[in-house]
């Protein structure tokens, strides 16, 4: 996650031709929730139609005012999910709904 963020930041710095201090002063911080779900089969998780649909619905619900980033752990049978958005309560509700959806699919 950190490597991808660093690369994106470097791209913005290059495009904007401004120092990091200028860009940081306008950055708005959003609450984050980081989730780790133990799964039996990481590949099956990403192929699951219900899970893919639910993640798409979350993206639509956040409506550009947040993000969901989903990736498989490289070393464990875990799916790591980052939720970020303006409203912490909304993120907590989304994380609970997501947990229930994953448990229901028994992946």
User: What are residue 37's DSSP bridge partners?
Assistant: 79
Model confidence, pTM: 0.76
Query: For the segment 86-102, what is each residue's pLDDT rounded down to a tens digit?
Result: 999 999 999 999 999 99
Which domains occur in the chain, in start order?
1-27 (no CATH), 31-105 (3.30.310.50)
- What confidence tier does 2 reach under pLDDT thresholds 50, 70, 90? confident
At 37 the three-state DSSP class reads strand
At 89 the three-state DSSP class reads helix
Query: For the segment 39-79, what is each residue's pLDDT rounded down to a tens digit?
Result: 999 999 999 999 999 999 999 999 989 999 999 999 999 99
- For residue 28, which of 69, 76, 85 has the smallest C-alpha distance? 85
* Cα(92)–Cα(32) distance, integer angstroms: 10
């Amino acid at each position: 996650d950190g490597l991808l963020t660093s690369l994106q930041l470097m791209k913005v710095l290059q495009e904007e031709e401004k120092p990091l201090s200028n860009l940081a002063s306008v950055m708005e911080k959003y609450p984050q929730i980081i989730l780790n779900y133990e799964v039996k089969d990481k590949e099956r998780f990403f192929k699951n139609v219900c899970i893919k649909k639910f993640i798409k619905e979350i993206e639509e619900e956040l409506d550009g005012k947040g993000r969901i980033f989903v990736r498989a752990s490289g070393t464990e049978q875990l799916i790591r999910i980052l939720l970020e958005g303006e409203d912490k309560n909304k993120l907590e509700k989304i994380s609970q709904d997501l947990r229930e959806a994953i448990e229901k699919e028994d992946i």
